[in-house]
Structure 1
């Protein structure tokens, strides 16, 4: 992913147009200018590749590569020399196609560098009502998807997502554990299309 920095931060590499399903093959950048933060997302054959950039305000600047299943479920994470893998006992593909009222529940084992660190973590995804979300000059049909699970200390974690079926990714999140700009909301104010094809 050596080209990623130039793609994210080089003005010539991105254009001020709205991402589509087709452009997600090369990727898009979601920008929160108030933090500031930039999240790169690209679809591949197995899910998504993402990389998050935060500034010094957040003490730890994360520079990780994530792979999500269908842009919702974190199935693999690499960062800080730890490979973290999430393995559910029920295929996540059973949650799709998304429909209002549909749910997916599973017990998830979590591995770090192939060592089991958490067993049978309960996960539940549920689909709520459809809506329309504006991000900068771009607007998308979204579904309200809620994730319920528990943290390492047994605390309940509830996250609400605005998920774009067209882009196959999350455009907004709400939850106390998210990195946020304010009021526990992960909100972006601009989307950019990546025009260069990355070389991994």
Structure 2
């Protein structure tokens, strides 16, 4: 089974704290260079802490859910170019999404571009869902303010179906510079207000001297 498959749940997670061994926060806006070390995304209304960094396999998101949600779980998500979930590890379940069309065909991202695939979903190497339809489309560019930081983003829409076969649509604001999603809209997301999940602060991570 290929691990380079793509997609599934949006990577948004809620975390109360992030433990960064040998690292420190920098009071600068993250850039493509600082993403090599990582950044912390903060939602003050929930509150949430999300650490996004890079490793040899792609972008990794580390999250911890606190007692407010009566769930304590360590989870690592690996994303295809920071856009959609391709591999998930957590709660003793290794979930992998394998599309029949290579996700790389969606890049470079261009306004009006559409990517469609049928996706097989595996849990611990066992097929649990097959031929799940996914469609992604790139909308118009925009400018998004996150705290003191501003980024050019592309509006991307994901359309798929739930396990019950109901339509499921998510809209993302994706930063090509950071290679990650800065905002999500959808009824199924953990949200802060009106079905929107948006971060309030971004902190670059640097290695401690």
CA distance in 1 between partners of 2:194 and 2:66 (Å): 19
Partner of 2:84: 73
Q: After superposition, where does 1:12-161 map in structure 2 within 5 Å?
A: 13-161=24-172
Partner of 1:179: 190
CA distance in 2 between partners of 1:153 and 1:13 (Å): 44
Unaligned ranges ≥5, structure 1: none
Q: Per-residue deviation at 1:196?
A: 2.3
CA distance in 1 between partners of 2:152 and 2:166 (Å): 32
Partner of 2:177: 166
- SS of 1:71's equivalent in the other structure is coil
Unaligned ranges ≥5, structure 2: 1-16
- SS of 1:126's equivalent in the other structure is strand
Q: Per-residue deviation at 1:59?
A: 2.8
The 8 Å contact of residues 15 and 193 in structure 1, kept in 2 or not, is answered as yes
**Bigger proportion of residues as helix:** 1
TM-score (ref. length: structure 2)? 0.87
The 8 Å contact of residues 147 and 158 in structure 1, kept in 2 or not, is answered as yes
TM-score (ref. length: structure 1)? 0.91
CA distance in 1 between partners of 2:57 and 2:87 (Å): 11
- CA displacement, residues 16-49 of structure 1 (integer Å, 9 cap, x when unaligned): 1100001101100000011111111112343210
| RMSD (Å) for aligned C-alpha atoms | 1.8
CA distance in 2 between partners of 1:71 and 1:182 (Å): 24
CA distance in 2 between partners of 1:187 and 1:62 (Å): 22
Pairs aligned (count): 192
